[in-house]
Structure 1
Amino acid sequence: MTRAPHTPPGPPVVGNVPRFADDPLRFLVGVQEAYGGQYPVVRLEPAGGQRIVVILDAALVHEILADRERFVRPRAGPEASRREGLLSSRGPLWERQRSVIQPELVGGQLAAYADIAARSVEEMLDRWPENGEIDLVAELSMLTMQVIARSLLGRDATREQARTVYEALDTFAEEFEFGADALLLPDALQSGPSAAFERADADLEAVARDFVDWQREHEDPPDSMLTALIEAERDGVELSEDELIDQTVLFLTAGQETTALTIAYAFHHLSRSPDVRAGVTEEATGVLDGAAPSWEHLSGFDLTERVVRETLRLTPAAWNVTREVRGPTTLGGTRFETDDLVLLPTYAHQREDRVWGDGDAFRPARWTDEVSRSHDSYFPFGSGPRVCIGRQVALTEAQFTLAHTLQQYEVDVHGDELAFEPAITLRPADGLRATVTERE
């Protein structure tokens, strides 16, 4: 027996969509808490726009993410892309790209990337004042950009290149906020990409071409992910010039902001939890003993790792995953129609009190429990074949940054409550500033 998704009550004609568009996080958390124990799926009914389906059952989330045939990345909205990088490509192209990239993110390469991350953190801390105020998100964005450039693209990024990427991501965030117009208007009335979006995309492409050209001009460039892609072209793996540029754009953008935000949010949570911060500082001092972190130190970061995991649960930079239904189908006893927009609300699942008991609390100790570590309701990196391929790199970079920084500095993030701007990523609406004080 199959059934249509339950539709929560809402105002006539427009239904629940305006409430969702006004405050997506609050709305999705409310729906998860109200209906998560009763219905696996609920549907929002916009007037004339795309049908929206919200997945409340965590097991269904993983089934959908594993099913690349029936549930695909959407053609429009925050997760759409005109570029054919690993995140957005499909079929044989996706398989070719992953076959080249995945070996570069395991084993000895991870240790090399860890060394790059440690060196980059040390350079960031050398720029910081002995006692002063910093823009934490901007500092960490420059850090993660440099780690990506050095490890994936083979050379340093200039400050101008880093600024170009940062400003492009700002533009994309403004373009892809979940606004009422985008959700209520039929496709025929939707406007295309703005002029600002087109300029930002062109600027990103220019940065990507500069990295590719530099690699090709050097007879013996340093090993990197980009080197592997260029050599794969020579070894018979068919990657067109456009595909190579698209993948380089993805390298520049995909992990840069999400990792920076994760580290920034971790510092925020630690500033609100002084006992936990003291524990991380003590652990860092004991493990590192004044040195910069290395791959061998990673196994000693127990509390630090739990802080990162809890940060990813409570404030996931990738706060929502979307899929589009390719054709009428049934999953978990629920009917889905062609072109349904399927929301997999990471933020709501990872805060549900029914699952976590105290979903809004920052409590790293929960990750000593093996049940928590394997819970279906925890998926900050996605799931299935398209699980984030760089997740181990991101986890390592976050732990290194927290440990190395707290060994040298007190970091006090301003403000008590976080206000969010949910767009492509979960951004702090008012930024995050911090006072840093060098330890004696």
Structure 2
Amino acid sequence: MDTPAPSAALPARVRLATDPMGIWGSFRTARKNLLGLIPEIATRQPIVSGRTGKRWHMVMDPEANRHILKDALDDYPKSDVTKLILAPAIGQSLFIAEGQHWRWQRRAAAPAFSVRNVQALAPVMSAAAERAAERIASAAGRAADLYQEMVTATFEVISDVTFSGAEGFDRAAVHRAIDAYIAQTAKISLLDILGAPMWVPRPGRVISGPAMREMKHIADLAIDNRRQAGRRAVPDLLDLLLEGEDPETGRRMDTAEVRDNLLTFIVAGHETTALTLAWALYLCAFDPTVQDRARVEAREALGDRAATASDLPALPYIRRIVDEALRLYPPAAFLSRTARKADCLCGREVRPGDTVMLPIYALHRNHLLWKNPDRFDPDRFSDAGSIDRFAYLPFGAGPRICIGASFALQEAVIILATLLARFRFERVPGREPDPVLILTLRPQGGVWLRVEPA
């Protein structure tokens, strides 16, 4: 087993549980930070089990992950809690649909995220990177919240590639609705901890109803307008989804299905990439040596222009920084499934109805799988093929791997390279970000960095 590095040399991390919490303690902890439910021992074991209202298992073993996410996929559907939290916003879209309803949607949507189509959307990302650089330049010589800057940049990208040029599409209203939804709806309820049935109302999720209805109404209008106007000369994601067809059944998505999937991509697409970029910038400020090396690579490839898709092969180190940021701070840091059948994971009995959790945060920091797992070291990805596919799950794995993974990685490298080529980022004393998981792993308090011209 490796010897932990001194805490002073480690970037921000979550304080994991060291003592049993009980139902009330678990509820209070989950309301503050869902990751606080993870026992510290989970970073040194393949599986941890217990009972808090109902039986649960936390799995940190690659082979067990392969079984859950790939080999026995239908035996481990998304948990009831996951569906309760997400369904009000995204309906039965790709992210939470199960069985054949998921399969036909996946087949219909897959062409929209082909390599060719993702690369064709890169100019939108380059333009957003340029605008972000212009905004950040105005903060030169002082501290700025780079998390909010990245949220702005990635929301520009996702709204441009979903509803490009949509007249009457109120982007600000959609953004407000997403923020209200996450703030009011995504926190765990005591009823969730107790394992109460799905039909028992969770008050916080009722409150968020008006924001959700507004967001869906705006999206429906934009979709109907596009159906009438027809395909744009340069198709965006909305065009591609409207044209998408399940090759096995010929089925196409109706307006509600297109809307729910578009809102999935908007909610997930901008939030997760913004977080990846914010954490990557924080990590670069944490280790100036890494930042300097990345800047040299970016400037050699880009000079003073924004990065493009064609630059990606010349930016391998910056890609490794993105990969390492996703390891240390995975946006989807906690996955939850419900066992449908009796099973055995890591020698542990699993009964039907048990909650099976994949705490990605603990998996990515497990001492059995990673050397000095709490340290920031992009070079651990210099030989990505040596890393077990099911030990590193920022986008999930198996048939339900995130359909937008290549889109998110392309966007993150383009924006990060553009910024590192032009600016130097430094930590602000007393303003360390606090990793807190509500729906995604956010830096509570923001990512405040001092900005200087490179």
TM-score (norm 1): 0.87
- Report whether the alignment pairs 1:423 with 2:438: yes
Report the counterpart of residue 223 of structure 1 in structure 2.
235
Q: Identify the match of residue 291 of structure 2 among 265, 273, 277.
A: 277
* Aligned counterparts of 1:76 and 1:284: Cα–Cα separation in 2: 42
* Aligned counterparts of 1:265 and 1:169: Cα–Cα separation in 2: 19
Closer, same or farther in 2 for the Cα pair 1:210/1:144, shift >3 Å? Answer: farther
* Aligned counterparts of 1:359 and 1:10: Cα–Cα separation in 2: 22
Question: Contact 2:105/2:246 (CA < 8 Å) preserved in 1?
Answer: no
3-state SS in 2 of match to 1:338: coil
- Report whether the alignment pairs 1:432 with 2:442: no
Q: CA deviation at 1:287?
A: 0.6
Q: CA deviation at 1:158?
A: 8.8
Question: Contact 1:15/1:44 (CA < 8 Å) preserved in 2?
Answer: no
List per-residue Cα deviations over 1:141-171 (Å, max 9, x = no partner).
1211221122233337999524532552453
The one-letter code sitting in structure 2 at the alignment partner of 1:50 is K
Q: Identify the match of residue 382 of structure 1 among 396, 400, 417.
A: 396
* Aligned counterparts of 1:303 and 1:69: Cα–Cα separation in 2: 38
- Report whether the alignment pairs 1:117 with 2:125: yes
List per-residue Cα deviations over 1:347-372 (Å, max 9, x = no partner).
00101223212111101111113455
Question: Contact 1:50/1:186 (CA < 8 Å) preserved in 2?
Answer: no
Q: CA deviation at 1:176?
A: 2.5
Which runs of 5 or more structure 1 residues have no equivalent in the other structure? 1-7
Closer, same or farther in 2 for the Cα pair 1:156/1:279, shift >3 Å? Answer: farther
Report the counterpart of residue 4 of structure 1 in structure 2.
none
Report the counterpart of residue 349 of structure 2 in structure 1.
335
Q: CA deviation at 1:386?
A: 0.4
* Aligned counterparts of 1:118 and 1:124: Cα–Cα separation in 2: 10
Equivalent residue runs for 1:390-429 within 5 Å: 390-414=404-428, 415=430, 417-429=432-444
Question: Contact 2:33/2:436 (CA < 8 Å) preserved in 1?
Answer: no
Closer, same or farther in 2 for the Cα pair 1:337/1:124, shift >3 Å? Answer: same
- Report whether the alignment pairs 1:259 with 2:273: yes
Closer, same or farther in 2 for the Cα pair 1:157/1:120, shift >3 Å? Answer: farther
Segment drifting more, 363-372 vs 308-317: 363-372
Report the counterpart of residue 6 of structure 2 in structure 1.
none
Q: CA deviation at 1:305?
A: 0.7
- Report whether the alignment pairs 1:62 with 2:72: no
List per-residue Cα deviations over 1:23-81 (Å, max 9, x = no partner).
543552503135x1xxx4332212xx333221132211121011331100122247642
* Aligned counterparts of 1:217 and 1:24: Cα–Cα separation in 2: 44
Report the counterpart of residue 5 of structure 1 in structure 2.
none
The one-letter code sitting in structure 2 at the alignment partner of 1:202 is R
Q: CA deviation at 1:374?
A: 3.7
List per-residue Cα deviations over 1:299-340 (Å, max 9, x = no partner).
010110110010000111111111112243444543322222
The one-letter code sitting in structure 2 at the alignment partner of 1:218 is A
Report the counterpart of residue 380 of structure 2 in structure 1.
366
Question: Contact 1:10/1:16 (CA < 8 Å) preserved in 2?
Answer: no
3-state SS in 2 of match to 1:342: strand
* Aligned counterparts of 2:434 and 2:314: Cα–Cα separation in 1: 33
List per-residue Cα deviations over 1:267-320 (Å, max 9, x = no partner).
001111001111111111001122221222100101101100100001111111
Segment drifting more, 377-386 vs 195-204: 195-204
- Report whether the alignment pairs 1:76 with 2:86: no
Report the counterpart of residue 32 of structure 1 in structure 2.
42
Q: CA deviation at 1:136?
A: 1.9
Q: CA deviation at 1:185?
A: 6.2
Report the counterpart of residue 11 of structure 2 in structure 1.
none
Closer, same or farther in 2 for the Cα pair 1:181/1:99, shift >3 Å? Answer: closer
* Aligned counterparts of 2:450 and 2:108: Cα–Cα separation in 1: 42
Report the counterpart of residue 268 of structure 1 in structure 2.
282
Dislocated runs of 4+, deviation >6 Å: 156-159
3-state SS in 2 of match to 1:354: coil
Segment drifting more, 115-124 vs 381-390: 115-124
- Report whether the alignment pairs 1:317 with 2:322: no
Let me know the Cα RMSD of the aligned residues. Answer: 3.0
* Aligned counterparts of 2:54 and 2:156: Cα–Cα separation in 1: 39
3-state SS in 2 of match to 1:254: helix
The one-letter code sitting in structure 1 at the alignment partner of 2:239 is T
* Aligned counterparts of 2:165 and 2:383: Cα–Cα separation in 1: 41
3-state SS in 1 of match to 2:356: strand
Q: CA deviation at 1:101?
A: 1.8
- Report whether the alignment pairs 1:41 with 2:47: yes
- Report whether the alignment pairs 1:153 with 2:159: no
* Aligned counterparts of 1:211 and 1:275: Cα–Cα separation in 2: 47
* Aligned counterparts of 1:96 and 1:370: Cα–Cα separation in 2: 32
Q: CA deviation at 1:341?
A: 1.6
Question: Contact 2:109/2:244 (CA < 8 Å) preserved in 1?
Answer: no
Identity fraction in percent: 26
Segment drifting more, 56-65 vs 312-321: 56-65
Q: CA deviation at 1:120?
A: 1.4
The one-letter code sitting in structure 2 at the alignment partner of 1:309 is D
* Aligned counterparts of 2:61 and 2:130: Cα–Cα separation in 1: 43
Report the counterpart of residue 135 of structure 1 in structure 2.
145
Segment drifting more, 305-314 vs 182-191: 182-191
Question: Contact 1:323/1:343 (CA < 8 Å) preserved in 2?
Answer: yes
3-state SS in 2 of match to 1:355: coil
Segment drifting more, 272-281 vs 354-363: 354-363
Report the counterpart of residue 202 of structure 1 in structure 2.
213
Closer, same or farther in 2 for the Cα pair 1:162/1:80, shift >3 Å? Answer: same
List per-residue Cα deviations over 1:189-220 (Å, max 9, x = no partner).
66355343212221321232243133223234
The one-letter code sitting in structure 1 at the alignment partner of 2:220 is R
The one-letter code sitting in structure 2 at the alignment partner of 1:317 is P
Q: CA deviation at 1:435?
A: 3.1
Q: CA deviation at 1:402?
A: 1.0
Report the counterpart of residue 96 of structure 1 in structure 2.
104
* Aligned counterparts of 2:39 and 2:56: Cα–Cα separation in 1: 16
3-state SS in 2 of match to 1:244: helix
Q: Identify the match of residue 50 of structure 1 among 51, 54, 63.
A: 54
Question: Contact 2:150/2:278 (CA < 8 Å) preserved in 1?
Answer: yes
